[in-house]
Amino acid sequence: MSSIRSTEWIALVDVNNFYASCERVFRPDLRTASICILSNNDGCVIARSQEAKDLGFKMGDIFHHIQDKISETGTKVFSSNYPLYGDMSDRAVSVYRQFTPQIEVYSIDESFLSLQGPDLVELGREIKYRTMRDTGLPVCVGIAKTKTLAKIANRIAKKNPEHGGVFLLEAEDKAQLQKIENADIWGISRRLTPKLQEMGIYNALDLASADPKKIRSKFNVVLERMIYELNGQSCLELEEVAPIKKGIMVSRGFGRYLDDYRKVQESVATYASRAGEKMRSQNLAANKLTTFLRTSPHGKDQMFYSNSFSITFPEATFDTTLITKAAWYCLKKIYRQGLKYQKAGVFLDGLVDADKTQQDFFFKPDTGKSKKLMSVLDKLNKDHGRDVVRFAGCGVDADWKMRQRMVSPKYTTRWADMPDVF
């Protein structure tokens, strides 16, 4: 069943309080501060430092409800700064790659590493040390024979400081497994727990000892595999190559309601550009584009309106000029005069490898030229900061944009924001 040889172990390396830790790297004065990160438009809390968690700030707290508490506790608040977080994530992964070529980047702050060696705890400590030394990010390392156990090992490392942030979990360690509740097992939703409890399964040890066949018939094959995984038998392989994304979506709420066609057009052009840029960074091209638009579902003075329109390109494209034209064409089909809009978005679909696009006999844009133009555009924006060069259709002042008033500098991705070190 397993393709991973038994001498190989799996480490889950997870950055502690990732967004808050990224903000801290360039602000050493905040090393012990309570930090909250806000969602787009500065609406609610989406990430917290440990100190903020200890003070009782919760995920989803509405920003303007907690302002008193923020000032009373001296909590530092940031708007989310995704260019910074994405870049710090890449840096951490490049440190992990020094230890093994076999990595699955599972999320922005979590990676699975395939490891071998005589002293894996020591290796885990080295990963932790070097990630801190080279990126400034604190991580915990959980090591075990399977991904499911590595997740649990990581949790143990994080919750129990006496392990120094690194924990190796043997499948035979019943005492540890018993402490892990169902809902804390990777892939088990809170919804499943009552049904498991009915069968007398309260924790990871109970589940590990359950009858796989019975679990399969009562639940599904996913949960059956979980039993093998908890017993140290690997069923979930490392997915080293990220699968081609199903689609790329760029969609945001506006900073205020818009009833001006030109402004909505600007926003759609901006989202189309961003989607094109994201797509090209993965060397993909899209076959299909959808624009959607809606009013607020909570609006009191007008009825709710939501609509979308799609077109299929004659051949897959990565060219922002075509993507923007298509997005505007779709917008025109769904825009209703006299409504106040709250959100629009562009979705690119049917993604294929940009080098293997099917040529349409009747539709022959100069792809060589367009490819060159797009790569120059992307390079300028990458080197000199986002939107140094952009299409006129995106507008100049972009006053429809969401407000992000407390965003930190893009320390690592924008020359002008590079920190000075004296």
Stretch that binds Mg ion, among 16-24, 90-98, 142-150, 284-292 (CB under 5 A): 16-24
14 binds Mg ion (CB under 5 A): yes
Residue holding tokens 């199903």? 246
**Distance (Å, rounded) from C-alpha 378 to C-alpha 318?**
12
**Distance (Å, rounded) from C-alpha 170 to C-alpha 368?**
55
319 binds Mg ion (CB under 5 A): no
Of 239-258, binders to Mg ion (CB under 5 A) are none
**Distance (Å, rounded) from C-alpha 141 to C-alpha 10?**
10
**Distance (Å, rounded) from C-alpha 302 to C-alpha 336?**
13
**Shortest Å distance, C-beta 241 to Mg ion:** 23
42 binds Mg ion (CB under 5 A): no
Please, which residue, 150 or 346, has the CB nearer to Mg ion? 150
Rounded to 5°, the CA angle 38-43-45 comes to 40
Question: Which amino acid, residue 386?
Answer: R
**Does the CA dihedral 253-24-57-192 come out positive or negative?**
positive
Q: Which two tokens mark 57?
A: 């700030």
Please, which residue, 111 or 267, has the CB nearer to Mg ion? 111
Q: Which residue is nearest to Mg ion (CB)?
A: 109
131 binds Mg ion (CB under 5 A): no
109 binds Mg ion (CB under 5 A): yes
**Shortest Å distance, C-beta 18 to Mg ion:** 5
Stretch that binds Mg ion, among 18-26, 36-44, 180-188, 400-408 (CB under 5 A): 18-26
Of 381-410, binders to Mg ion (CB under 5 A) are none
Stretch that binds Mg ion, among 89-97, 105-113, 289-297, 374-382 (CB under 5 A): 105-113
Q: How would DSSP label each residue in 271-312?
A: HHHHHHHHHHHTTEEEEEEEEEEEE-TT-SSS---EEEEEEE
Size of residue set near Mg ion by CB under 5 A: 4
Which residues of this protein are in contact with Mg ion, per CB under 5 A? 14-15, 18, 109
